[in-house]
Amino acid sequence: MIEIIDTEISEVKIISPKVFGDSRGYFFESYNKKDFETAGLHHDFIQDNQSFSHYGTLRGLHYQKGEFAQAKLVRVVVGKILDVAVDIRKNSPSFGQHVAVELSEDNKLQLLLPRGFAHGFSVLSETAIVQYKCDNVYNKESEGGILYNDPKLAIQWQIPEDKIILSDKDKANPPLSEAKL
């Protein structure tokens, strides 16, 4: 049983699972294909990924293009992140707009990004373990990136600039206007 929460970009959804808690702890289904399909969300997830990161780590903004584009269902197992989806569909009325949502082990929210979106997150807690499902395989030749601090995107990552930890690859990403979509 899930609750679907709409965002500013209609195709991006926040998923709130039904959590059953008692004196022992809690239980919830992090994914149930039937529940998603009943809610009109049809994705055939084929791969699960997990990352571990320290405070200040910013991963993104990443995307797969063409036949290797990926829908993702993102959640946090430990810690707290700011999860961001940027619409990179050239003919979309929301092209260049983004949705930013805090995901945490406490709120148990998940972010569903359809194909055609760049994805990134910043770690707001001491550490974070992030898991996400993908509906397509990774293909190195189809990967792309967008500069995390592109002024036209105006994403507020909730981390002071001097505390942000980036990979060399993410430092070299172009702004959206120069990205090879």
- What is the pLDDT tens value at each position of the chain, 181 positions in all? 899 999 999 999 999 999 999 999 999 999 999 999 999 999 999 999 999 999 999 999 999 999 999 999 999 999 999 999 999 999 999 999 999 999 999 999 999 999 999 999 999 999 999 999 999 999 999 999 999 999 999 999 999 999 999 999 999 999 999 999 9
Quote the number of domains for the chain. 1
Q: Are 15 and 109 in contact (CB under 8 A)?
A: yes
Q: Is residue 19 part of a domain?
A: no
Q: Is residue 10 part of a domain?
A: no
Per-residue pLDDT, 59 = 98
Residue labelled with tokens 């059953």: 20
We report the CATH number of the domain holding residue 139 as 2.60.120.10
CA distances to 24, 25, 112, 136, 178 from 83, rounded to whole Å, are 29, 26, 10, 20, 23
Give the residues across from 50 on adjacent strands: 131
Q: What number of other Cβ atoms are within 10 A of residue 161's Cβ?
A: 7
Q: Is residue 15 part of a domain?
A: no
Per-residue pLDDT, 1 = 82
Domain span at 56:
47-178
Q: Is residue 22 part of a domain?
A: no
Q: Is residue 39 part of a domain?
A: no
Q: Is residue 16 part of a domain?
A: no
Q: Is residue 121 part of a domain?
A: yes
Per-residue pLDDT, 170 = 97
Q: Is residue 119 part of a domain?
A: yes
Instruction: Locate the DSSP E strands across the chain.
Output: 2-6, 13-17, 20-22, 25-27, 47-54, 58-64, 72-78, 80-87, 98-104, 110-113, 117-123, 127-134, 143-145
SS3 content of the chain, % helix, strand, coil (to 5): 10, 45, 45
Per-residue pLDDT, 152 = 96
Residues forming the active site: 62, 132
